[in-house]
Amino acid sequence: MTQIKNVSNTSTPPNAEYAYIMEDEDVWFIDYIIGIAFKTPVDFSKYKKYSASNATVGLLESGRPYTEFENIKDFQDYMEDKIGQEITIESSVDPITNAERDDRRIVWYVDVLNVS
């Protein structure tokens, strides 16, 4: 697994974090409380851009920890190690065109009795 960078502002384990997939330039939001991860429209930027026409606030400004991965397989391996379950990436199909939509997500079982 190629985990590139883990940036965190706290020393406690996060209840949510972001993952940046460099190969696809996708950003995923991971919520460990409810047991879901999904692609988000968050822009990954290392620098803030503020102007009247283009304001960009990226992962660095989100305040949440994030990890960079080379590809989706590395992210999938990370998730399986982190939650201790085998995961699959789900998506839906447009019923009219039969084309796969770009709404991938991961859902897993969360033991609500052991969540702190």
Digit-coded pLDDT (tens) for 76-98: 999 999 999 988 888 777 777 77
Q: Decide if pLDDT at 65 tops 60.
A: yes
pLDDT at 53 over 50: no
In this predicted structure, what is the pLDDT of residue 58? 65
One DSSP character per residue, 52-84 reads: SS--B--GGGTSS-EEEESSHHHHHHHHHHHHS
Radius of gyration of the chain (CA): 16
Q: Which residue has the higher pLDDT, 77 or 11?
A: 77
